[in-house]
Amino acid sequence: MNQLDGIKKFTTVVADSGDIESIRHYQPEDATTNPSLLLKAAGLAHFSHLIDDAIAYGKQRGKTQEQQVARSQRQAGG
């Protein structure tokens, strides 16, 4: 058993990182939603399709620019 597994027996392990691969590797029980961490993750090339999809969703469903932005944000999880 490594130290992380030992700690998991006594407490909830939470990731405080924008590094999605580390989160996937260490499999914490929860993760923070700090906007600066999410922005860092959104800037990674292999996640750009998620932002592109959210923007397209907002443009398709919003009549005004304000509605488009709001719908894009909701679709992206914000």
Q: Which residues of the chain have pLDDT under 70?
A: 78
Half-sphere exposure (CA, 13 Å, Cβ side) for 3?
0
Is 1 strand, coil or helix? Answer: coil
> pTM for the whole thing?
0.56
Provide the pLDDT for residue 11. Answer: 92
Compute the distance between CA of residue 20 and CA of residue 27 in angstroms, rounded to an integer. 10
Q: What is the pLDDT of residues 29-42, one digit of tens each?
A: 888 777 887 788 77
Provide the pLDDT for residue 18. Answer: 74
CB-neighbour burial class of residue 58 (10 A; exposed 0-12, middle 13-18, buried 19+): buried
